[in-house]
Amino acid sequence: METTIAGMHSALESGQTTCRDIVQAYLQRIAVYDKTTGVNAIIRTNPAALATADDIDARLAAGDTLGELYCVPVIVKDNYDTYDMPTSGGNLALANSVPPDDSWVVARLREEDAIMLAKSNLDEFAFRAAHTVSSVGGITRNAYNLNRTPAGSSGGTAAAVAANFGAVGLGSDTGNSIRGPSSHASLVGLRSTMGLVSRDGVIPLNLDRDVVGGMTRTVEDTARILNVIAGNDPADPITSLSEGHVAPDYTAALDKNALQGARIGVFRHLIASDADPAVLTLFEQALADLRAQGAELIDPFEIADYDDLLRGATSCRRFKYDLENYLASLGPDAPVHTLQDIIDSGLFSAVHASSLRSNNEVVGAPDEQTPPCLGEAGNIRDNPGRQTFRDTMVNAMTDAGLDAMVYPTWDNAAQPLNNLSDLPSNKGDNSQGLAPASGQPAITVPMGFDADGLPLGLQIYGLPFSEMTLIGFAYAYEQATLHRHQPPLYPALD
């Protein structure tokens, strides 16, 4: 319960437990709690997980050298390709689609002896930020309150990691989908700089903005995951931008004193006039905590013409194009080959019917649209509006001597979740604009709980490829406050 990667490794190396015991314990928690409580975070478990654990136990007993993440059970969002389990994107037409190989991230984790424990539910094709609903997995609920949303689209990973169904998780973030669900689950979620981590083998929503990465219970585990997955991958050309920017060891940023002398801008512009008073109270306390740890706050920090610049930082509508390229990568035996095939099958959630149909109306490749999108998907340099937006953010922060900016991840706690005819909106979501438009990194870290026991998050936004700085700040804040506690609905099993 609530263990870390380091804690797990310590227990294994001292002989207190075995890898099989660890994996079996997580599988038992999934079996006992996932469907019976209705949190409904997991689509499927990996039938090979225990055999993989046995192999690791044998190698450990033999004194073999093991990878950095050996025996770490991972909850994998079901838009990441896994060669040994179907990858559906939450869509019934792809429910039995087994990819020919792993995504880059999953392959890197396996190379370091992590165990892909289970695939988690997501909002179908990662469409929505406010909820997690799919034709394969149904409705996922918030691990802290089953009548509330986990947000989306990585709500299954968030709920599973929060409920201790796995050690760490993987999500994807086009506008919100790592940070928003992490905030609603009292987790740490990092949207890294575009180009730091490969998206190869992940069902795309919009490669102009898609980012993939870890969702964890601690900042330390976020750093450990990033150590393994960051770097250049020829299959995703945008990762060439990471050359010279990948840190040798992101755990070197884990310094409790990292906030001393930091200059941080308080970006109140994102906070709505009707923000939940509980969020405002916790945010002001977070600012006081940052000051107490030695940070100098520029409050408020303002950026001239921010809204106009953000409106100009547009992206092409490329879901159809990107999805069909992904389907082609599955080979001739793919269950469907086009978005039209999916629509014709009728195998999708009614909640997402209009999104599928409107995206299917887009004609042509990105460079054939009006206005055209040129160059590599996600390369800010190829999009004048986004380059202007990024330049403005970078120059404003640099001119003010800022190391980072902060704001609440949401203006409100998780919204009520009733049924498919009454789903929550994106109200209060502060993640959609700044980081996705600029391609710069942002990390959410637990900020506390409201009076109803619902988690809230503090988001820290940085300069391009400043992940070391953000991890350091998030760690120092986390260690000074220790806000996270496990949800009460899933106690330890005997």
Torsion angle of the four alpha carbons 390, 265, 170, 233, in this order, in degrees rounded to the nearest 10: 40
| 199: nearest Cα among 322, 110, 380 | 322
Task: Spot the catalytic one: 103, 177, 242, 349.
Answer: 177
| 155: nearest Cα among 135, 175, 177, 176 | 177
**Helix, strand, coil percentages in the chain from 3-state DSSP, rounded to 5:** 40, 15, 45
Rounded to 5 degrees, what are φ and ψ at 190?
A: -110, 120
Task: Spot the catalytic one: 103, 120, 134, 153.
Answer: 153
User: In 448-458, which positions are buried (b, 16+ CB within 10 angstroms) versus exposed (e)?
Assistant: bbbeeebbbbb
Single-letter residue type at 311: R
Q: Over the Cα atoms of the chain, what is R_g?
A: 21
User: Is residue 153 annotated as part of the catalytic site, yes or no?
Assistant: yes
Task: Spot the catalytic one: 77, 97, 182, 242.
Answer: 77
User: Is residue 77 annotated as part of the catalytic site, yes or no?
Assistant: yes
Handedness of CA 369, 372, 374, 376 (dihedral sign): negative
Single-letter residue type at 316: C
Question: How many residues are listed for the chain in this entry?
Answer: 494
Give Cβ neighbours of residue 488 (< 8 Å, ≥ 6 apart). Answer: none
List beta partners, residue 442: 191, 461
Q: Which stretches of 152-197 are assigned E, i.e. beta strand? A: 168-173, 188-191
Catalytic residues, by residue number, are: 77, 153, 177
